[in-house]
Structure 1
Amino acid sequence: MNNYPNFYNPQNIGSLFYPDYGAIAAAAEAANLPPAAQDKQNVHLVVIDMQVDFCHSNGSLHVPGSVGDIQRLIEFIYTHADRITNITCSLDSHLPHQIFHAAWWADAQGNHPAPFTLISYEDIKAGKWRPLVDPVWSTNYVKKLEEQAKKVLTIWPYHVMIGSIGNALDPELFSAVMWHSLARKTQPTWLTKGSIPLTEHYSIIQPEVPVPNHPLGGKNKAFLDTLADADVVLIAGEAESHCVLETVEDLVEDFSAKPDALQKIYFLRDCTSPVLHP
């Protein structure tokens, strides 16, 4: 029989509601778990972008299967809370004017591209699409993206906008993260990414193309050091095909010179799903 907190309701996953902080705090105290500081093994759970816009059916960039992913992750947290030392949740966080949004681009007639339009360097040279913001950087960016990341710029629907409901973590998952924090006497870490207008930022480790002189424009060395200090790193989140995949690739690249470090990374395969877009 599962021993989940009494406030937990899996039927709430994928819906909007106000978590009952008092009930969460009471249940956390009643759990009587040891403080995370006493853990002999440092287990760090990394939750990638399990936000309303990605995980709710009416979200602007819904990932099919994400509600089930969240339920399995929540129940994993409750089942193994006494062994999970730290939880980091990333929040993809965007502004209206960014290089992957429609407002940044137009065709010769002034029309903005539709969601999921692909813009190549050849398209720009041919005049099919033109950047309305920072033309030199934007053109070079698309070229670098093709040369370095081997991909074409995708125009995404407006999603996880800063200040919007869509930017928030799913409320039932938030409740689990808060419960764990109070029960284990450890602060959760909230890692925001994706708000640099000049670049995409799928991975939580680094942007697609570095932005010189921007404090968040390069590799997140501090977070990599945090993961390096852990004994076990568990990774879950959305979407498997984009932000999760690129995060794992960056971790493998960074830890490649340290085989022992690679062995401590675990991917929770039943807590992630791919997006069905480019």
Structure 2
Amino acid sequence: MDFPSFYDLDKVGTLYVPDTAGAISAGRALDLSPSAQAQVKTILLLVDPQVDFVHVDGKLSVPGAVEDTRRTIEWVFTNLNRLTTIAASLDSHLPIQIFSPAWWSNQEGLHPEPYTVIRSSDVNAGVWKPLYEVVWSISYVAKLEAQAKKELMIWPYHTLIGTPGHAITPALYEAIAYHASARQTQPVFLEKGMIPTTEYYSMLEPEVKVPDHPMGELNISFLNMLASYDLIYVAGQAESHCVLETVASIMRYFADQPAVLRKLRILEDCMSPVAHPTIDFAEIARKKFRVYAEQGLLIVNSRMPIR
């Protein structure tokens, strides 16, 4: 098919000012029916499609994310008249959070390098000590291992609010604006990750709950909104972390509603795993998605028709 004139596939994964006006004008010219009139409601969940994850020079660049994003954009263009809603999460961080190097130090006063794993045994032995929220931090690492079955990973500073890395990658933003104009609807944006004392991989809940914070629990209202759609497609970054945990949140919440789980579609060629020197995150993600597929989720690709 012919893609809109504002789209340049060679610009995917590059930083520029999105041609929002051009995208909106092109969408309006299509004269498609409004999303509100859709007989079959389809939503696309874009998990953290941001500069720091997608671009090769991003602070937490995911290998393969540029190609994933190109396929996602072209999937949106191809399915414009069948796609009802686009919802995107924005990983939104502050300079110092519990997974930041600056939060921790060793006995020499040195901060951990990115991709360091901090275990509760390390904390108890004094290998790493928290410099902020000391009591919470010590208990957090233990809770993370007990409740979320994870160890604390120290990440590079990424998607900091107000920096270029926080923005949705421009070519994809143009596609979102194009869809909004063509279908006379609004995109949905969810910010996550602003609680300093917990990680927030899933777009729907933190790793360890923070009951006294407005974003510290499961986002039930968004989950219930999802259930109103006939089809739920998922793409974004990274497959091994925020995409996987978003899907896990959905699978848990609707575990007793198999009809909802059967609505889920994972666009497997529109996501990639984090690269780590010693941990095979790709295989971890594949195993979990295979389990979810046995529960009703479908693993599809961007070349397959919506159904």
Deviation per CA, 1:110-152, whole angstroms, max 9, x where unpaired?
A: 1111111111111111111100111110000000011111111
SS at match of 2:191: strand
Deviation at 1:26, TM superposition (A): 1.8
State the alpha-carbon separation in 2 of the partners of residues 26 and 119 from structure 1.
Answer: 50
Deviation at 1:3, TM superposition (A): 2.1
Whether 1:7 and 2:42 are equivalent positions in the alignment is no
SS at match of 1:212: coil
Deviation at 1:22, TM superposition (A): 2.6
RMSD (Å), alpha carbons: 0.8
Q: Which residue of 2 aligns with 1:130?
A: 129
Q: Which residue of 2 aligns with 1:176?
A: 175
State the alpha-carbon separation in 2 of the partners of residues 241 and 226 from structure 1.
Answer: 25
State the alpha-carbon separation in 1 of the partners of residues 148 and 267 from structure 2.
Answer: 25
SS at match of 1:31: coil
Q: Which residue of 2 aligns with 1:219?
A: 218
Q: Which residue of 2 aligns with 1:36?
A: 35
Deviation per CA, 1:207-261, whole angstroms, max 9, x where unpaired?
A: 0000121000010011101101111100000000000011111111111100111
State the alpha-carbon separation in 1 of the partners of residues 157 and 17 from structure 2.
Answer: 24
Whether 1:119 and 2:104 are equivalent positions in the alignment is no
Q: Which residue of 1 aligns with 2:206?
A: 207
Alignment of 1:1-278 (within 5 A): 2-277=1-276
SS at match of 1:191: strand
State the alpha-carbon separation in 1 of the partners of residues 126 and 225 from structure 2.
Answer: 45
Question: What is the aligned residue count?
Answer: 277
- Give the alignment's TM-score, normalised by structure 2: 0.89
Deviation at 1:25, TM superposition (A): 2.0
- Give the alignment's TM-score, normalised by structure 1: 0.98
State the alpha-carbon separation in 2 of the partners of residues 135 and 258 from structure 1.
Answer: 40
State the alpha-carbon separation in 2 of the partners of residues 171 and 177 from structure 1.
Answer: 10
- What are structure 1's unaligned runs of at least 5 residues? none
Deviation at 1:200, TM superposition (A): 0.2
Deviation per CA, 1:166-205, whole angstroms, max 9, x where unpaired?
A: 0000100000000000110000011110110010000011
SS at match of 1:176: helix
State the alpha-carbon separation in 1 of the partners of residues 233 and 129 from structure 2.
Answer: 42
Deviation at 1:7, TM superposition (A): 0.6
State the alpha-carbon separation in 2 of the partners of residues 251 and 136 from structure 1.
Answer: 31
Deviation at 1:38, TM superposition (A): 0.5
Deviation per CA, 1:30-87, whole angstroms, max 9, x where unpaired?
A: 1111100000111011000111000001101100110111111101101101111110
SS at match of 1:190: strand
State the alpha-carbon separation in 2 of the partners of residues 155 and 198 from structure 1.
Answer: 13
- What are structure 2's unaligned runs of at least 5 residues? 280-307
SS at match of 1:53: helix
Which amino acid in 2 is paired with 1:172?
A: A
